Amino acid sequence: MIPAQQHETFRRCAGEEFPPEIVKAANDELEELVRILEAEGVTVRRPDPIPQGQVYSTGAWATTGMYAAMPRDAILVVGDQIIECPMAWRSRYYENLAYRPLIKEYFRNGAKWVAGPKPELTDELYDLDWTESAQGEPTNLVVTEFEPTFDAADFLRFGRDIIGQKSNVTNEFGIEWLRRTLGDEYRVRVLEFDDAHPMHIDATLAPLAPGKLLINPERVPEIPKMFRNWEVRAAPAPVIPDSHPLYMTSKWINMNILMLDEERVVVEAEDEPMIKFFKDWGFTPIPCNFRNFNSFGGSFHCATLDVRRSGSLETYVD
Ligand code: DAV
């Protein structure tokens, strides 16, 4: 995930405030994204800021918050259900509250609203002796099976099929909780990729349209059988320079695009190879500056959460 040349920065700055000039630049980019989405006919709703600097504690531990910039991580929307995720990071314990005013409103208008079991996040949830797994060995994950945890961004929705992965924030317990909560109408299926530090599936696979899948060529050496009837193409290599700060993500955040429908795709404005790639494939790329936002660990998919799309529930994969 975090590029090697940024590890030192992460160690030095973890727990500190993000540099204000990058926050400001990222905010400007977010406003640009809102303008673009609205111009394309999307209804955009924003969360309410919640204080992040205040210390909070469950008794077992105490921390401050991180941010509420990535609705895709905290909230999972499947059909008419809104699911608040039991997230594994202590610094993200209250992130859901930023979305509560919106969720209450959606609930009043008919949505179903459920929340994962509130996790304890005690030391038993974390493998405190975690080490990098050896080449060719199964990936060591930092979360244990102490209690269910997952981030919504470890799941992608393909109609009836919800495709997810185990990661450093999503355990089997959490996946099973989600499977039973969604019930028989959905199939929750788990895939494994070549990713030494999995956290979120949305820089590994991206469904673009029925039958069209974008994959990360480094992490998906073999196309999963369920996509055998799909046209699958590898994302072009990222062009983010080494000098650009990426606090919580790999450069593959370049493939964290947002599909508005089966043709229109929001793409980072400086990512010329990606813009060309989509044009060549018959899509309509819509460029938006987002590189400063990328520094915080996400791009267009992470920064948004589509709560309402038209269409019916269908089966797309084998
Ligand atoms: O490099 O795979 C993606 C994070 C998106 N929420 C990565 C991190």
The span from the CA of 242 to the CA of 131, in Å, is 25
> pLDDT, tens digit, for every residue of 11-35?
666 767 889 999 999 999 999 999 9
Given pLDDT bands bounded at 50, 70 and 90, which one contains residue 137? confident
Pocket test residue of 72, 200, 251, 300 for ligand 1, highest count of atoms within 8 A of CB: 200
Indicate which atom in ligand 1 lies nearest the CA of residue 72: 6
Q: Report the separation in Å between the CA atom of 109 and the middle of ligand 1, taken as the mean of its atom positions.
A: 33
Question: Quick one: tokens of 7?
Answer: 């590890």
What's this model's pTM, rounded to 2 decimal places?
0.95
- In angstroms, the CA 222 to CA 135 distance is 18
pLDDT at residue 57 tops 70: yes
Greatest alpha-carbon pair distance for the chain in Å reads: 55
Q: Is the four-CA dihedral 178, 205, 293, 14 of positive or negative sign?
A: positive
User: What does the alpha-carbon distance between residue 16 and residue 277 come to, in Å, rounded to a whole number?
Assistant: 38
Beta carbons of 237 and 231 less than 8 angstroms apart: no
Average pLDDT over every residue of 237-247: 95
pLDDT at 12: 63
CB 1 near ligand 1, within 6 Å: yes
Distance CA 292, CA 312 (A): 36
